[in-house]
Amino acid sequence: MKLKIEKVVFGGDGLALDQGQVIFVPFTIENEVVSAEITSRHKKFSRARVLEVIKKSSERRTPPCPYFGICGGCQLQHMSYEEQVRVKEAQLKELFPIVLPIVKAPKTLYYRKKISPCHEQGLLGFKGIDNCTFVPIDRCLLFSDKLLKEIPHFKEEGPFLIDSLSIEVSSKAFCQNFPEQSLNLYHYIKSLVAKENPVIITDLYCGVGITSLLNAPLAEKVFGIELSNEAIRLAKRNALKNGIENVFFKAQKAENAVISGDLVLINPPRTGADTRVLQNILHSKARTIIYTSCNPSTLQRDIKRLEGFTLDSCKPFDMFPQTSHVEVVTVLRR
């Protein structure tokens, strides 16, 4: 069948319509015309694969990775980088009324600090686009230009500097995967915190303590909450080695944390914040929330649940070039 791609949706698929039926077509670009065949039918939509691109977008390019289209790690390598960021901004504008310009990535390949390949029969690889098939690979262009068998899958580079802070990280504790872009993200969050002039900050899902420690000079006290014992161990170590005494870290579930003070920093996993976390924030004295998310859909859901708070701004950061993912920092006030 012949299809025109109306837009690219979250997840990276092109969306086409055929007699009112929604059809998702991977590896396509807005306004392209393609010949495609249906691969699966569902009640409200179908999925298809491209047989031929009849009318190519000027933004189409040859993917740099030979595994693109087979490996499930990347979704947008067939687009120019300018088109990738345009698509991400457009998608966010469908969810949020206020979207500031995206912060582009300082580099678009070899940016990841760690990867988690699969192992089968002595081979390294990733899950395929069907999220099931094992795809053996020699290298990942998002991680390194070297053969994977020659390097560890976590680049343990020791402590790294963020401004004047020396921060220790670990493969066993979450930290942002793109160091150069992470620095831009942390600086932006710090600039937002400075404008709020907080007395006490609660930092939920604080990881190894980077945002807590960076913002410690801006408040009387900071309370960092994280479930991972390893992350909290490193957070306390980072506070001690940097001589920061007004930050207090605790290993516990975010939903059990006491929300102290007037500003909440929150950076939950892709599934979003637990309902009890949001309820605790609503019942606290917090007047400002700075919510960082790698999943705009669950972010939108959580904002709706935070009744009484109003979205003030939404700033995207391209932390994941070549993929459909995007990091977003939002400010909510009441």
What local confidence, expressed as pLDDT, does residue 66 receive?
Answer: 94
Whether residue 303 contacts residue 327, with contact meaning beta carbons closer than 8 Å, is answered with no
Say whether pLDDT at 259 is over 90. yes
Give the residue-averaged pLDDT of 200-226. Answer: 97
What local confidence, expressed as pLDDT, does residue 163 receive?
Answer: 87
Say whether pLDDT at 269 is over 90. yes
Name residues whose C-beta falls within 8 Å of residue 62's C-beta, 6 or more positions apart in sequence: none
Residue type, 208: V
Whether residue 92 contacts residue 328, with contact meaning beta carbons closer than 8 Å, is answered with yes
Give the residue-averaged pLDDT of 37-45. Answer: 93
Number of C-beta neighbours around residue 230 at 10 A: 15
Give the residue-averaged pLDDT of 56-82. Answer: 96
Give the residue-averaged pLDDT of 116-121. Answer: 85
Q: Which of 65, 140, 206, 294 is catalytic?
A: 294
Per-residue pLDDT band for 164 (boundaries 50, 70, 90) equals confident
Whether residue 3 contacts residue 16, with contact meaning beta carbons closer than 8 Å, is answered with yes
- Give CA–CA dist 190/218, Å, rounded: 9
Per-residue pLDDT band for 97 (boundaries 50, 70, 90) equals very high
Q: Which domains does the chain have, with CATH numbers?
A: 2-95 (2.40.50.140), 118-150 (no CATH), 160-333 (3.40.50.150)
What is the β-pairing status of strands 288-293 and 263-266? parallel
Give the residue-averaged pLDDT of 39-64. Answer: 96
Percent of the chain with pLDDT over 70: 96
Query: Can you read off the two tokens belonging to residue 69?
Result: 């289209």
Per-residue pLDDT band for 153 (boundaries 50, 70, 90) equals low
Q: How many CA atoms lie within 13 A of 27 on its CB side?
A: 21
Say whether pLDDT at 272 is over 90. yes
What local confidence, expressed as pLDDT, does residue 122 receive?
Answer: 84
Active site residue 294: yes
Q: What is the pLDDT of residues 295-328, one digit of tens each?
A: 999 999 999 999 999 999 999 999 999 999 999 9
Over the chain, what is the mean pLDDT? 93
- Give CA–CA dist 222/129, Å, rounded: 42
Q: What is the pLDDT of residues 131-140, one digit of tens each?
A: 889 999 999 9
- Give CA–CA dist 62/224, Å, rounded: 45
Say whether pLDDT at 150 is over 90. no
Say whether pLDDT at 121 is over 90. no
